[in-house]
Every structure is written in structure tokens, then in C-alpha cells.
Amino acid sequence: MAEFDLDGWGEYFDSTGAVHFDPAVLDGLPSGERVRVTEILASIEGQVRANPLLRYVPHVKQVEFHSSREPLKVFFGGNRSGKTTAGICDDLIQAVDLECLPERLRPYKRWDPPFKCRIVCPDFTEQLEGVILPKLREWTPKEQLVGGSFEKAYDKQRRRLSFKNGSVFSFMTFEQDPDKFGGAALHRVHYDEEPPDQIRKECEMRLVDHGGDELFTMTPLHGLSWTFKQLWEPHQKGRLRHSTVVVVDMDDNPHLNREAKERVLAKYTDAERQARKSGRFVHFAGTIYDAFSPHTHVIPELQELPANVLTFVGIDPGIRHLAGVVWVYLSAMNGMVVFDELALQGHTIGQVAEAIKLVNAKYAQTVGGVVVPLRPRWYVIDPSARNLSHQTGRSDQMEFSDHGIATILGQNSVTAGINRVRERLEAKPPALLVTANCKELIDEFPNYRWKTPSRIENDAKEQPIKTDDHLLDALRYVVMSRPYKPEDLLVDQRNLSPLERAAIEDQSGRRQPVGLPQTDMGGIYV
């Protein structure tokens, strides 16, 4: 029996390679014709069982994913949207011989054998053995494998699948230590579900030799994770270069049963249903500053600082992590306006201090014919800045002081500080405003979330997710330093330690505060 051209037939096959047809139509044929058609169907089913890729007909979103030749391809898909199938089939398209592929799949082939691919998934038992390997068994052309069968080609000890043409799939999981992710050069790393950031960084180095590519096939179930900041958010803003990002809803998969889909989704919360169905990032924990609104709390950038205002600076220091600095002035009605910021990655304390001085110089004012840089009333810093380094015996607070920035320590009560900020945001009119040039701080407000509680009897107090909150931390230190009314400030100064009082006096350049008539914007000190 001759082979048939099966292009366009894929949708008529089930997962075993059997052809869908109406038995009544076959029974209605004359006996001789019925025998002929039965032989043809048997031949077709034999071809498909030998090469399952003949029945792979990607849906529209899968076609978009396969067609890309960018070094980063991301499939954000809801459950049962076809994301794992798309990833596995894309891997196989690269691994097998070109002649093995039906014509409709050949344009998606970027790599020629031997193709070296690493597939990384959450765990060995549930995901690798329960999902990935069964998918490979379902779609891999057996004649392409070493020994002509999956059993002979798969080395369970080394977790490797070997092809006759030299292509190799190796398998690892998120459970393994990042140090294990070294090894030989690869053409591709395929992450099925979201990997830890450190594992991704280790794997990236394996792609350098061949200019390899990365595949992500994932449902975003971890809220504001690193993939949100590094993949989703830049994609949404049009800044994710050399990439293709496809967002796929369960409804995009034409092969799903509607009633079964609705029955399964009904058991999830609205937020989780959105992620599992639509493949979009949602926040499973509550927004901390839900009162913040760009329409209410963001004002135009200042052309110049109002005269005679009292200013404060909050510092969240960082060397390996981002250093966040905010500038705040106090209005006549005790409102606070954040008017500038710094967000510096990988800078030394000396470099951060110099950057702070440059911002102060930007807001210089002329006093008695002399141009004077901005003199914040005080700098308040993360209280952990007092901790001494075991290597040097010095603290970050000491280092800032050495570079001309004398600081006082912020209060360390996170919950109390958050409540103070929220009170200012919720006040009518708002007692906290941010100028439009403070883009990093504005971006942090909506992304600041509570951790999801573990629902056990002895749960700890609510804690925020500690990611991308450096500017908000700096703002919280300022708010908690209580820069309210003049009489409150004087009382607070009396309660300061000699070291903290000296720091304030050093920043102001005066021994005593001097009261001034209030301006329209509320300047009350120099």
C-alpha cells in the first residue's frame, strides 16, 4: 500500500493515530469500495503511528509561536491551551531530520541536527514523568530515535533522549541545585513552567557558543515573579527585544470540551481563574497601596522647588541590589510631595552619595546672591545600615557619612510604616503626592503586594512581598521620621540621641530651626 500525502489531515486523528470518521458512512458503501476505504484508513493510521508529527496541526496561536525565529520565545498559556504540546513539538521539529516533517511544519525548523536541547521542568515525578515524557512518547517519530523505540532511546539514569542523527534532549528540574546546570554548549533551553531566576541565569551561559534560543511555555501562577518584571512587563511596554511573546487563552484551543472546561474553572478564585484560563499575570495577594491612583496622586514634574520648603531624603541602600533614594518636601497643610528619585543598580555607596549630591545641586537656590545646593533637613536610612560588616568592621551608615551624607536611622516597623503611607494616600485631599518624573516609584506602587497567607493556625503577621520595593522603602523611612508640624519636629529633635541630632544639624547647616512665613506651597524652614 502506497503512502499518502497527509498534509491537512491532522485534525482528523486522535492521540493514538486513529482516524475520526462516521461509521455509518463506511457501512453505507458498496462492499468492494468499503474494503478499499478500510485499507486506505489502515495505511494512513499506520503512517501516523510511525510518525505522530503528521497529525500535528497547530492552532493559530501555536502557529505564531512556531513561526518565530527570535532567540526568546514565550508562550504564556492558560491550562490546556496547548502550551506544553507547542513547546515539545517545536523541540522535535528542530531535532528530527527535515524529511521527517510534513510540509506544513518545515518552515518552523530553525536548527539542523545534531540539535542539543535541555528541557527544564518543576519536578521529576509529577511534571517530567507525568507530563513531559508522555508528551514526547506521544509526538516523537520512533524511527528517528536510537534503537527505533522510546524505551531504547531514553537513558533513565542520565535522563537523556537520543536520536539517530545525533540530536539529544536532556532533562533537569527546578529541584536541582543551580550549580548542576553547567555542562556542554546547547542550542536550546526549554522551560516548561516558570523556573527560578538563578537557574535561568545558569542555563543562559550554555547558549552562548551556538547563539542558542530559549523557550518558555508556562502558566503565570506565581504572581509578581521575576518573569513578570523581566518578560511580561517589558513585553507590555514594547521593550522586550529579540523576542516573541504569545498569550493564549484556553478558548484559543479548538480541541477542548466546553462543558468540561467550564466545570474545571468553576472551582478556582476569580484571580486564579484568569491566570489558568487566559495565561495572564494576576496578583494572588492583595494590593498594599490600593488607594494609589495616577490620576489622584501624580502631579506634573516641578520646574523648580518652591521657596523655603522643608525637604527630606529617604535612602534604601544597595550594592548587589538596587539603591533607592527619594526626595520629599512638606507642604503648608503637612502634605508630602515626592519630587525626585534615584534608582541605581550595582553602584557603590560612594557613587550613590555623589549621585545624591548632583540631585541636590539640581535644586540649588540663590540665597543672598549666593547659589546654594539643596540642603535636606535630614537623610533617613534603612535601619539595617547600622549593621557592621564582618569583613570591614564598618557599616553602610558610616560609609555614607564618610562621603558627606550623614544619616539618621529609619524606624523598622514595616506594618506601621505602611499604615502611615496608606493614611496619607487615603486622606481627602491626598496628603501624599508624587511628581511625574518619579517613574520608578510610581511603578512600584501598584506592584506592592501582601504575601499569600499559608492558612495555618500559627500564621505569622502579614508581610509584603520583598521585590521591587526599594523606592517605597525609602519613602516609608521618610514618612516614619514624622516630618509633620513645626512644634512636633522640635519635640522630636529633643528626643533624638546626640548622634542623630548632630546629623540633622550637619544637614541643615544651622544649630536651630528658623521659622518663616508660610508660602503658597508651605515652606516652613530653611
Would you say residue 384 lies in a domain? yes
Examine the domain organization and report whether 80 and 211 are in the same domain.
yes
* DSSP 8-state secondary structure symbol assigned to residue 217: E
Examine the domain organization and report whether 300 and 240 are in the same domain.
no
Is residue 384 within 8 Å of residue 318, measured between CB atoms? no
Examine the domain organization and report whether 43 and 77 are in the same domain.
no
Question: Please, which residues bridge with residue 324 across strands?
Answer: 316, 343
Residue that wins the pLDDT comparison between 335 and 511: 335
Examine the domain organization and report whether 462 and 388 are in the same domain.
yes
Grid cell digits, residue 387: 549593621
Rounded Cα distance between 84 and 237, Å, is 26
Would you say residue 332 lies in a domain? yes
Is residue 139 within 8 Å of residue 53, measured between CB atoms? yes
Give me the domain span that covers residue 404: 294-508
463: domain CATH number is: 3.30.420.280
Task: Tell me the per-residue pLDDT of 5-20, one tens digit each, with 9 for 90 and over.
Answer: 555 455 555 555 455 5
Would you say residue 60 lies in a domain? yes
Residue that wins the pLDDT comparison between 67 and 25: 67
pLDDT at 346: 85
pLDDT at 26: 64
* DSSP 8-state secondary structure symbol assigned to residue 287: B
C-alpha 189 chain-centroid distance: 18
Grid cell digits, residue 518: 508660610
Examine the domain organization and report whether 351 and 249 are in the same domain.
no
Task: Tell me the per-residue pLDDT of 350-383, one tens digit each, with 9 for 90 and over.
Answer: 999 999 999 999 999 887 788 889 999 999 999 9
Q: Is the pLDDT of residue 319 over 70?
A: no
Rounded Cα distance between 190 and 182, Å, is 15
250: domain CATH number is: 3.40.50.300
Q: What percent of the chain has pLDDT over 90?
A: 51
Helix (H) or strand (E) holding 107: none
Task: Tell me the per-residue pLDDT of 139-196, one tens digit each, with 9 for 90 and over.
Answer: 999 999 999 999 999 999 999 999 999 999 999 999 999 989 988 899 999 999 989 8
Rounded Cα distance between 497 and 499, Å, is 5
Examine the domain organization and report whether 321 and 393 are in the same domain.
yes
Task: Tell me the per-residue pLDDT of 378-405, one tens digit each, with 9 for 90 and over.
Answer: 999 999 999 998 888 899 999 999 999 9
pLDDT at 508: 43
Rounded Cα distance between 138 and 175, Å, is 25
- Work out how many domains the chain is built from and give that number: 3
Examine the domain organization and report whether 399 and 495 are in the same domain.
yes
Examine the domain organization and report whether 274 and 298 are in the same domain.
no
In this prediction the pTM is 0.55
